[in-house]
Structure 1
Amino acid sequence: MGLVEGGSLLLLLFIAMPLKYFFGMPEVVSVVGALHGGLFTVYVLMIVYATFAVRWPFRFTVGALAVAFIPFGNFILDKRLENWKQLKAA
């Protein structure tokens, strides 16, 4: 879910916003912004689920919430979680 939400943020910042400000198409931001908002809400719910059901460490919860506001942040977090999973399995 983090990758989908992160992708929607990139779409909003690098496609929809330039279309609004450089090409006078504000409706694109309305649509993509609403989509991103819905995905962000689902992302936060998934973080809450992971925190309690999977017993994520608190630092993962804080980190997952923080990277949602940073472009490409969710992609970096995903890679770190994969590495953590591999270390934990070993």
Structure 2
Amino acid sequence: MGGALTRYRVIAWIVGVALVVLVLIGMPLKYAADEPIVVEVVGTAHGWLYMLYLAATFDLGRRVNWPLKRMLLVMLAGTVPFVSFVAERKVTRELAARLGEQIPEPVAAG
């Protein structure tokens, strides 16, 4: 389960950052400055990455026996800005408590 959780955590953050960039930078540039390049590039990337997010969420949910409703709610978290970050923390804490493990906090490489 540790590998599935790590994959989920990584892709949740990547999808979350891509969505925030898309909404907070790309959309204003597209509609206020008539510059659609960020939306075209980041929007496409987010779409493909979201598919990976769905697969990682399904894999994790299957391994920890989530009910379908829970799995779908976590999957939808990748569609609302900032919610994937909240869902990732909640899932990580819940699974750590369930397993009685200490899951390390993400650390920036330096």
TM-score range, shorter chain: 0.7 to 0.9
Following the alignment from structure 1 to structure 2, what is the Cα–Cα distance between the partners of residues 65 and 85? Answer: 16
- How many angstroms apart in 1 are the aligned matches of 2:50 and 2:86? 17
- Counterpart for residue 47 of structure 2: 37
More helix by share: 1
**Change beyond 3 A, Cα 1:86–1:3:** same
One-letter code aligned to 2:82: F
The yes-or-no answer on 1:51 pairing with 2:51 is no
The percent of aligned pairs where both chains have the same amino acid is: 25
User: Under a length normalisation based on structure 1, what TM-score does the superposition of the two structures give?
Assistant: 0.85
The verdict on how the C-alpha distance between 1:33 and 1:2 changes in structure 2, with shifts beyond 3 A counting, is same
Alignment of 1:2-81 (within 5 A): 2-52=12-62, 54-58=63-67, 59-81=69-91
Q: TM-score normalized by structure 2?
A: 0.72
CA deviation profile, 1:27-74 (whole Å, cap 9, x unmatched): 22111111111111111111222233x134124312211212221111
The number of aligned residues is 89
Coordinate RMSD, CA, aligned: 1.5
State the 1:86 CA deviation: 2.8
